[in-house]
Amino acid sequence: MLTLLIPLLALPESFLISLWLDRYLRKIGMTVPDAHKKGKPPVARPGGPAIVIAVLTSIGILYLFTRSVDIISFGLCILIAFSVGLIDDLRALSGPVKVGLVVIAAVPLVLLHTYSPVMPFPFSFHIRLSTAYPFLVLVAIPITANAFNMIDVYNGLVSGFTAIATVPLLIDFVFTGQTIPAFLALAFLLANIGFYPLHRNPARLFPGDSGTLAMGAAYGALAIIGHAELVAVVALLPAVLNSFFVISSVGGLVEHRKMKKRPIIVDDDFKLVAARDADAPMTLTRMILADGPLTESQVTLRILCLECFSALLAVLTFALTGVKI
């Protein structure tokens, strides 16, 4: 019963560290302008340490009670992705280098063998990937990390998106009786909820690449450790589609700050407008703005609604695998 309370620590911890980081980062001048606001107010960055410290401390305490190797593997994965992100926050890395370094975050999952090469599939089929699976793990973590990184474009989006996307995983772990993955998912979910008040519009703290890469790697690791790969992919459909559309439009991994043509224009009223340029990258936001200009909050709300819909599809996918809910 006591162990059940440990993941709950992540919520107040994440919130309090976020509050402290907001003040501390402003004091030492680590801020970036919020490009979508009037006057471009400075916002503290990176806030990623708040989420990572909250998750790592709560799962660290959990490890003392359970001695589970899943926790070690999950913790190392987050820590490595976070470190790569922190380097990128302090000194910008190119897209391919960043992705290449995030591959290292997948290594603990492979070395500690915290995966099962058999994936449940709807209608009681099973996908067996015995020898290919470890290689897929090495590819999957950079993909999820990059997908979360690419969706971090508006206030409150990536933290809200991650929290919603984690719910189907938590449901999966609870109904399949996987206690440790359920605890890890709960700690991760609550750390994101604790971070959200400072990240939501108008944001006081941005997660930075240290936060988004850690979030993405953690999400991928949860799916792998808890054998919920398909549920995770379905829950991430808006982010996956966004990444696919961007990569296919610009022809590779390009940092959004280095894109030659902008997909979105900010008008004089600080509303977002879709670019009508044939060469501009096709992003999820650009598609949402196809009907006309919207405020940043309206765009964020629409993407989060789309994510809620994907989360429902993910729960449906899990239900179709034959587990009784």
Binding site for other proteins (CB under 8 A): 121-122, 125, 127-128, 230, 233-234, 237-238, 240-241, 244-245, 248, 274, 276-278, 282, 284, 286-291, 302, 305-306, 309-310, 313, 317
The residue to which tokens 């000194």 are assigned: 91
Strand 42-44 relative to strand 264-266: parallel, antiparallel, unpaired?
unpaired
**Minimum gap (Å) between residue 52 Cβ and other proteins:** 30
**Minimum gap (Å) between residue 81 Cβ and other proteins:** 25
Query: Which residues are CB-neighbours of 137 under 8 A, at least 6 positions away?
Result: 106, 109, 110, 115, 224
Radius of gyration of the chain (CA): 19
**Minimum gap (Å) between residue 251 Cβ and other proteins:** 13
- What sign does the CA torsion over 232, 205, 50, 140 have? positive
**Minimum gap (Å) between residue 200 Cβ and other proteins:** 21
Instruction: Give the nearer residue to other proteins in terms of CB position, either 64 or 127.
Output: 127
Amino acid type, 79 = L
**Minimum gap (Å) between residue 5 Cβ and other proteins:** 36
User: 175, 325 in Cβ contact below 8 A?
Assistant: yes
Instruction: Give the number of other Cβ atoms within 10 Å of residue 307's Cβ.
Output: 23
**Minimum gap (Å) between residue 246 Cβ and other proteins:** 11
CA angle 29, 34, 40 (to 5 degrees): 90
Instruction: Give the nearer residue to other proteins in terms of CB position, either 61 or 312.
Output: 312
User: 314, 239 in Cβ contact below 8 A?
Assistant: no
At 322, phi and psi to the nearest 5?
105, 0
